Amino acid sequence: MVSAMLLTAGLAAGALAAPATNVPGHRKAGFTVPQVRAVGHVRHGPTQMAKTLLKFGKTVPDELTATIKAWKISRREEMMKRSQGSAITTPEQYDTEYLTPVQIGTPAQTLNLDFDSGSSDLWVFSSETERSDVAGQATYNPDSSSTSKELSGASWDISYGDGSSSSGNVFTDVVSVGGVSFDSQAVETAKNVSTSFTSDANNDGLLGLAFSTLNTVTPTAQKTFFDNIKGSLDSSLWTVDLKSDKPGTYNFGFIDDTLHTGDIAYTDVDSSQGFWMFTADSYSVGGSSSGNSTTGTGSSTGSGSSRASASASSAAPSATSGSGAGPGGFGPGSGSSSGNTGSGRGGQQSGGSGSGSGADSDSSSDSLLDLLTGLFGRSPEPKSRASGSSSAAATTLTGIADTGTTLALLPQSVCEEYYAQVSGASYSSSIGGYVFSCDATTPSFSYTVGDVTIAIPGDYINYSPVDSSGSKCYGGIQPDSDIGFSIFGDVALKAAFVVFKDDGNTPQIGFAAKTL
C-alpha cells in the first residue's frame, strides 16, 4: 500500500513537472475508466437518501437513521445465512487418511486434521502435549491466540475403535475451515496421545463430523464444528469427494454439481448411536448382485458369484465365540477365531483360540503392523451390533459412513462371497484379514442406494502389500466381526460423491456417481 502511494505521488509529481505541450506528431493523452456494476450490491432507498443529506451538510432524521440501522441488521443476518466453504483434503500414502488444513486462533495457526465422520471431538496436538509425544506434528498454542479462552473445569478423554486414544483440556477459539469460521468452537488440546498418533507425523489431530452426542467433553459435551456452523450455511449439509492417491474436497453449505454425474440418491440416517448410519439396498460382486434393488450394478470387472465356495468359507474366521478383537481391535464383544490366536491393531486384545483349521498361519511382519497403523479407523468403541445389520442371509448392508476409517468392513458372509472370486485369497488370522497375491485380479464391489449404484474399483480393494516383498496384498474389504456394525470407510466412500445433510428434519446421506 505504501509503495503504491509513493508510486502514485511520483507519477503526479512528474505530471506537474512536465506541463502539457502540443508536441508535433504527439496526441494529447487521455484515458477511459470503464464502469463495472458492483457485484453483490443491494439497493436501499433510505440509505441513499441519508447519504445525499449528509453530502450536502443536512441532518439525517432519527426515524430514517433507525430504519437504516434495522435494515443493516437484517442484511447482516441474511448474509450470515449465505455462507459456504471449501477445503482441499490430501491423502497420506495408500490413502490411509486424508488431511485437511484448519485455521485456529488469532492470528491463525494452521494444523492439518483428519476429518472423521465417525467421531465428534475436535482435538489437536498442542503446547500442552507431552514433548515426548510430539514427533513432527504442528501444535496449537492457546497462549498465542488473542481469542482463546479456557473452558474452566472441562476435560476430554477419547478412545477410538482401533485402540488409539488421547485426552486433555478444552479451550474455545476461532476455527475456520475453507473460509467458514465459528468464533467459539471447542478446541480440545491434547496433553496425552497414544503412540499411534505420535508415529503419524503429518496428522495434527482430528475434526469430528459425527453427531454431537458422541462428543466426550465433560462435564458438558460440546458441539461439533458442523453443528455450530450449519445454521449459517446456505444449506445445512457438507459433502466429501475423496479421491484415490490425489487431493479431494470437503465442501460445506453447498453441492458442487461438477463433482458428480446423474442424480444424488438420498436415504434416511439413523443417528441414534451418534453415527451416520444408513442401509444400502443391495450389493454386488463383479457382475452378480444380491439384494432387493432392481437397478443396475454399475461398472464391474471379473466374474461374479452369488455365494462363496466352500474353500473360501473355510478360510474365513469361524463363528466360535471368544473374548478377542477382530480386525482392527474394535473394542469388546464376541471374538471371531480361526485356529491361531490373533490380535487386533496395537495388540489391545487377543482373539480366542478357536478350532478352525483353514486359516493362513503366516506370521505378520513389523512392516505390516506399521502399515496397519491407523488403517481401520477411529470410531468410538461401539457397545453392540446395531439392529438390522447384515447377517449371513441378509441382502442389504447396514453400516456407518466413516471418513475416519480406511477400509470397508462388511459382514463375514459378504467377505466370503467377494474373496471366492479372488484367486488364492485366504484369511490370515496372524495378519488379521484377507490376503492374496498382489498379481491377483480383484473384481469390483458395488453397493446400491435408491437408484444409484456405486462401484468400488477392484484396484481399490487390492489395497496394499503386507510386507516389503510385495508378493502378498491386503484386501480393502475385511470382516466387521467384532465392531457392532459395518463400516463404509474410505475404500467405499472415495468411489462416490457423498452428501451428509442435517437440516432439522431426519438426517440424510446422499450418494452419486463421481465425475471422472
The whole-number pLDDT of residue 162 equals 78
- Fold match, 86-254 / 259-514: yes
The whole-number pLDDT of residue 516 equals 75
The whole-number pLDDT of residue 75 equals 56
Q: What is the pLDDT along the chain (516 residues), one digit of tens a residue?
A: 434 433 333 434 344 344 444 444 444 444 333 433 333 345 567 667 776 767 667 788 888 788 777 766 665 555 444 488 999 999 988 889 999 999 999 999 999 999 999 999 999 999 999 999 999 999 999 999 999 999 999 999 999 877 889 999 999 999 999 999 999 999 999 999 999 999 999 999 999 999 999 999 999 999 999 999 999 999 999 999 999 999 999 999 999 999 999 999 999 999 999 999 999 999 999 865 444 433 333 333 333 333 223 233 333 443 332 222 222 323 223 233 333 222 222 222 222 333 333 333 343 344 444 444 344 454 444 333 333 333 333 589 999 999 999 999 999 999 999 999 999 999 998 888 999 999 999 999 999 999 999 999 999 999 999 988 889 999 999 999 878 899 999 999 999 999 999 999 999 999 999 997
- Alpha-carbon distances, residue 337 vs 342, 364, 377, 406, 481 (angstroms): 7, 16, 21, 23, 10
- Alpha-carbon distances, residue 383 vs 187, 293, 331, 334, 493 (angstroms): 26, 31, 8, 11, 24
Q: Which CATH superfamily is domain 86-254 in?
A: Acid Proteases (2.40.70.10)
The DSSP output letter for 213 is G
The whole-number pLDDT of residue 334 equals 29
Q: Write down the domain spans for the chain.
A: 86-254, 259-514
- Alpha-carbon distances, residue 264 vs 267, 402, 412 (angstroms): 10, 19, 29
Length of the chain: 516
Distance separating alpha carbons of residues 282 and 226, to the nearest angstrom: 30
Q: Which CATH superfamily is domain 259-514 in?
A: Acid Proteases (2.40.70.10)
Q: Which three cell numbers mark 103?
A: 485455521
Q: Which residues contact 106 (CB under 8 A, 6 or more apart)?
A: 145, 146, 147, 173, 174
pTM over 0.75: no
| CA neighbours closer than 13 Å in the CB half-sphere of residue 308 | 23
The whole-number pLDDT of residue 67 equals 76
Give the catalytic positions in this structure. Answer: 116, 402
- Alpha-carbon distances, residue 324 vs 371, 412, 474 (angstroms): 21, 16, 21
The whole-number pLDDT of residue 45 equals 74
